[in-house]
Amino acid sequence: MLLDLMPTASWVNADFVRENINPDLTFSLVHRIEHARRMAEIANLTLNYGANDHCIVDFVCPTVETRRAFLDAAEYPVYTVFMNTITADESRFADTRKMYQLPPTMHFG
């Protein structure tokens, strides 16, 4: 797990945040955008007040708009890691599968 490699990082988990901080939000695109913005604000808080030197934010950000909302709200550099751990046909969340947009292809040279 990434957190094991970064012991001084804080961790913001989307399932926890949705259940305890964002229970007012659904999984509509508008609410997903707001959820992404709030996730960035929580990360900002941990970094603004010196609680940690890095923050790992883990959540599904299926569209360009949700990714943009997170990036626009983030006050610190963001390093994005896309994990393709399940095929679209296997996803248990049909709405996420339908709206998912592939991230841009990254090339390292």
pTM of the complete model: 0.80
The answer to whether position 104 is within a domain reads no
The answer to whether position 107 is within a domain reads no
pLDDT beyond 50 at 108: no
d(CA 109, CA 104): 16
The answer to whether position 68 is within a domain reads yes
d(CA 92, CA 106): 27
The answer to whether position 105 is within a domain reads no
Total structural domains within the chain: 1
Q: What CATH number is given to the structural domain containing 21?
A: 3.40.50.300
Q: Which residues contact 38 (CB under 8 A, 6 or more apart)?
A: 17, 21, 22
d(CA 45, CA 75): 10
Structure-block tokens of residue 30: 């508008």
The answer to whether position 108 is within a domain reads no
What pLDDT, in 10s, does the model give residues 53-107? 899 998 888 888 999 999 999 999 988 877 666 555 655 666 666 777 777 765 4
pLDDT for 96: 67
Q: Which residue range is the domain that position 95 belongs to?
A: 7-99
pLDDT beyond 90 at 2: no
